[in-house]
Structures are given as C-alpha cells and as structure tokens.
Amino acid sequence: MKIYRAPAGLWDIRVVDITGSIASAGTATQPVDAEPPPLTVLPHTLRMASMPSPKKMVLFYDPDEFEEFVKEWVPALETKYPLVERHGGSGDHGIDVAGYLSSQRLEGEWHNYQCKRYSSALTWSTAVVEMRKMFVFAAAGHFTVPTRYIFVAPTISRSLPRTLAKPTDSMNKFLQELDTATEKIVTNLTAVQREAVKGLAAATDFSIFECVDLDEMLKLHSTTPHWAERFPYTPLDQGPQTLLPPVQPSEVESRYVQHLLDVYRERYPDKISNLEQVSGVAKADEHLKRQRVAFYTAESLRLFARDSTPPGYFEKLVEDVYDSVVEVAECTYPNGWERHGAVTTAAGNVQLTPTILTPFVQPNTRKGVCHHLANDNRLIWCQEGDK
C-alpha cells in the first residue's frame, strides 16, 4: 500500500493498492503546515471473562468428580440417611454412592445412586447394563437389592424416564434382553446362576428404578455447605430465614445483654439497676429491642452460613467488622452509650471481604455482629477511664 501527498495547500490522501489503482481518496481544505486535528483516544474496555454456570461446570466433571458431587448432593434429599458412602471405582459391584437406611448397610435397606458420566445422554441401553450388573451381584449374595436405584447423570434421554415410568413393562423388557446380553458378567454365568438372576429380577418391583436430572440435583446441592466451595462465584438462591427475638432474652444472649444493661445503669442510675427495670424507661427499652433484633439478624446469617457454606465464612464477616471498629471502640467517650453508638455506626461502613454471604449482609447484620463480639467480650461498652 502507498500513500501519496497532494500539492502544497491541500491534504489529499490517496490509498493505492498494490495494483496501482486508487482504492479510496479524501480531500481536506486544511493547510499542510497547520497542526493536525487532535486525536481522541478511547480507553480500552476491560471485560472480565464470565464464569461458566454450575450446570456447565458439572458437565465437564470427570467420572470421579461427578461421583463426589453426587455424594455431596445425596444428604440434601428428603430421605435422611445415617450414612452416605461412595463405592465408585474398580470392584465396586455396580455401586457408586450408597445411602444406608440402617446400620445393616448393604445387608439392610439401602438406596443406590448410580452415576453415569458420559458425553451423550443416558439411555435405556446404557442403564440396563448397570441394572443387569446389580442383579448379578445381588443374586451372588454381595448385597440385598436396594429399595431404590436412582440413575444420576448430567444428561438423560427423554425416553429413559418414560420407560422407567412403567415398571411392569421395564421388567419384561429387562428379562427379554437378559438372554441376549453380551457383557461378560452375564455370559460368564452358569445356567443355574442365570436362572437365579432371572428369578431375583422377576421378584423385584421395578419401580425402584428412577432417574434424576441435573437441574433438580443442582437445586438441592445449593442448599448444602458444599455449594459455596464448589461454585464460589455463584450466588445462593435463598438467603437466611429471619429469626425474631423471643420475648425474654435467651441464654445465648446473656452476655451481650449484660453489657447493654451496664450501659443503661450508667446512663439512668436512678431508674435502672436490673433488666426488669429497662422496660420502665422508654428510650432504654426501645434501644434494647433494636439491639436484640440486630443480634438475631446476625444470628440468622450465622446459622445460614453454618448450614449452607464451608466453615469460616461467617467468622470472616465477624473479623471484618471487628478490625474496622476496634479502634473506634478504644477511643475515650463520656459513657458507654456514646461508645456503643459510635461503634455500631462505624460498623455500618465496614468494607466487607467479598464472599458468597456478602449479598445477605444487611445494615442490621453489621450491628448485630457487634453484639456477637460483645458476647465474646471483644467489645465492651462501659470502660474505666471514660470521661
């Protein structure tokens, strides 16, 4: 490409391609010696790569990781198991994740969660191989037939749930195909063993076989503490359920309420000497009610974090608040009332470390965290040396 300059007095820019023909031309009346017009430089736009959704992440799990994901999900089901155990691997006898309903484990009532992680959707032709394996090992006495057998897979064909929805037809289909099965676990059976497998299958209610899709699994997995660890950049669908303070302070409140009582006794020495008298002083009574609501707002988040996130998330929030208000608390104040007000106001401006809990931290939560700290004697409102 060549650029030609026009005679003096004009800007004439012609862009010529390698053949010599003019590709484009432009003429301007600005003198050659004049300053060229200023360039406007637009800042480069930085865009963060979007994180894949939990569903897409699970689709990329290898079989071992998928089994671990299922093991985390099973305890969130309505059925409460005394023990959930992962068996996946060589020699697992067709059991990936087992949920036991009694201490007898595989000799008692139990549920099998069969994990199938394939690039394509799970179909009958794949599922029936696992069903045959289960009956072969059960007939051999390795375990009792599970009372539920659930196929879990990232994608499931539309036809499989329809087939399993008709247990009698499923059983007949299974028995018919057993004679033509080609996998070694079946072809290696003796005639007596094959009849034992047939008899066991014929005596089994095939309604035990079910399948679960990934959307349902993810919805329940999000209620477990494992969700935040697996998908830390994905917000939780539901936050904590707000707890309301009981009429009378509970045992868990005793220490921070005592610290507040010290504040009221200091501020109203002629009117308040014990907790029962606080209700007789309107300002103190309303103040105590607000603090108790704040405490339970933070307590709601603490319990939610305990049940929905790995350990340490709520504790990090507490440390963020403490690190931000401790200097304020150590200043000198006329009384504990003023210190309490200054500290709780400062708590409202705390810059929190971003975590999966951050969206659920309300202004009242921060104030309530101050009372959690008071419960541990890390914040004390009435101090010697106040003026």
Tokens of 274: 């014990």
Model pLDDT, residue 4: 41
For the chain, the helix, strand and coil percentages under 3-state DSSP, each to the nearest 5: 50, 10, 40
| β-strands 148-152, 110-115 pairing | parallel
Question: CA dihedral in degrees (297, 302, 306, 310; nearest 10)?
Answer: 120
pLDDT in tens, the chain (387 residues): 444 444 444 444 444 444 444 444 444 445 555 666 666 555 554 444 456 778 888 888 888 888 888 888 888 887 888 898 888 666 667 788 899 999 999 999 999 998 887 778 899 999 999 999 999 999 999 999 999 999 988 889 999 999 999 999 999 999 999 989 999 999 999 999 999 999 999 999 999 999 988 888 888 888 787 877 777 666 666 777 888 999 999 999 999 999 999 999 999 999 999 999 999 999 999 999 999 999 999 999 998 888 777 788 899 999 999 999 999 999 999 999 999 999 999 999 888 888 878 888 989 999 999 999 999 999 999 998 676
Between CA 162 and CA 185 the distance in angstroms is 27
CB 365 within 8 A of CB 305: no
C-beta separation of 201 from 137 below 8 A: no
Write phi, then psi, for 237 (nearest 5 degrees).
-70, -40
Domain regions of the chain by residue span = 1-31, 55-230, 251-375
Instruction: Tell me the sheet residues that pair with 19.
Output: none
Q: What is the pLDDT of residue 27?
A: 45
H/E segment holding residue 86: strand 83-86
| Angle 307-313-314 from CA coordinates, rounded to 5° | 80
Tell me the C-alpha distance between 202 and 196, whole Å: 10
The answer to whether the CB of 145 falls within 8 A of the CB of 107 is no
Residues pairing with 4 in the sheet: 14
Q: What is the predicted pLDDT for the residue at 236?
A: 63
pLDDT value at residue 377: 95
pLDDT of res. 94:
78
CA 214 → CA 38, 55, 57, 121, 233, distances in Å?
57, 7, 11, 12, 19
pLDDT score of 353: 83
